[in-house]
Amino acid sequence: MANYYFVGLSTIVGLTILSLLYDSFDMEMYMCKREETAPHDTTREFTSKNVTFDIYGKQWKDVIVFVHIQKTGGSNFGRHLKANLMLEKPCVCQRGIKACNCSRPGSENEQWLFSEYSVGWACGVHADWTEMVNCVPSMLDKFENVKQQTWQRRRYFYVTVLREPFARFLSEWQHVQRGATWFSSLHMCDEHVPTEEELPLCYKGALWENVSLDEFLSCPFNLASNRQTRMLADLTKVGCYSSLSDTETKAKMLESAKENLRRFAFFGLLENQLDTQMLFEDTFKLKFKKDFDQRNDTYAAKIKKENLTVEQIQGIYDINAEDFLLYDYARDLFKERVSAMRARRKKTLPS
């Protein structure tokens, strides 16, 4: 069993703010009222069937918002967005700096992309849907130096990438073994950071290096468990971080994640790079310069189930039960969207 270490709220907030790319991070602006910053993008589906993304921002200031879930191939996808798209005005990047300027054609500061590769971790490291939907509008106002109410002209096209939960969980465990903790993530929900009682840490010290799989599995506060479901759900509907392990809470969180996923303009699957690329191009009417690569030689893939105990395998399934249900749902929804895309393309082909 892991030893649990409680860190004071002021420590968490302080280290978080220091870790953000923008030193001028404005917590008051971040904690804006939900009803003021969650317009129509969260209540309807944005797909290529009913909405056309406009990178020029002629009528609406359309913005692609990338929710980057850990260990889903999101870093690679994010690099595709900033550097691999055929654009009239490519993102301007500087050597050694992760974030690029991805402004619209004809504008110097209006952003068409909101991700760590364009605006840094502006809403916190690996911010989830709950954080992003409350943070993105005000952060864009800040970056673009726009006047009040201008955000009403924006439309937000949420995108993400999902991964088969067993491999994703193992990949996160290995990443933590190598020194990653994402300790500086905010986990902002309902305008507050979780208290130390709501969200303790699973380890002592600054890192959880060399943690065993059994120890990783045994911590009830490990956010690696059901991470995809939690990061796509509206956590304000389940009391934020106060009862994530409760059975009823998990069920509500899963339904919320499914609902939000349906409303995402686009999501891809790490295991299906070809269709992920094609679906993105069809949805946003943007083309990539180079095709996506399907990589199966991941670190997690090298861990064979035969090398794990029966208890470890069952433990991974048990603590990620909602993620497995969400992934099954996402895979079916993905197939539907791909099938619809191919049907539309077939109709447009010359006879």
pLDDT higher than threshold 90 for residue 47? no
CATH architecture of the region 9-343: 3-Layer(aba) Sandwich (3.40)
Given a cut of 50, whether residue 272 has pLDDT beyond it is yes
Residues 77 and 268 sit within 8 Å (Cβ to Cβ): yes
User: Which pLDDT band, with edges at 50, 70 and 90, does 299 fall under?
Assistant: low
Cβ atoms of 300 and 174 within 8 Å: the answer is yes
Host H or E run for residue 155 = strand 154-162
Q: What is the pLDDT of residues 174-205, one digit of tens each?
A: 999 999 988 889 999 999 999 989 999 999 88
Mean pLDDT to the nearest integer, 267-283: 97
User: From CA 52, how far away is CA 42, in angstroms rounded?
Assistant: 16
Per-residue confidence (pLDDT) for residue 124, from 0 to 100: 95
Cα(275)–Cα(269) distance, rounded to whole angstroms?
8
The 61-67 sheet, strands edge to edge: 113-114, 61-67, 154-162, 266-269
> How many percent of the chain have pLDDT more than 70?
81
117-175 per-position pLDDT tens digit: 999 999 999 999 999 999 999 999 998 887 655 556 899 999 999 999 999 999 999 99
Please give the Cα distance from 291 to 240 (Å, whole number).
39
b (16+ CB within 10 A) / e for 293-332: eeeeebebeebeeeeeeeebeebbeebbbbbbbbbeebee
- Higher-confidence residue of 330 and 345: namely 330
Letter for the amino acid at 308? L
Helices (H) and strands (E) in the chain, counts: 12, 4
Sign of CA dihedral 146, 79, 327, 339: positive
The secondary structure of residue 223, as a DSSP letter, is T
Task: Tell me the one-letter amino acid at 304.
Answer: K
Q: Please give the positions annotated as active site.
A: 126
Note the pLDDT of residue 84: 97
Report CA-CA distances (Å) from 232 to 139, 204, 211.
20, 29, 27
For the chain, the domains span 9-343
| Amino acid type, 310 | V
| pTM score over 0.95 | no
Tokens 């447009």 belong to 348
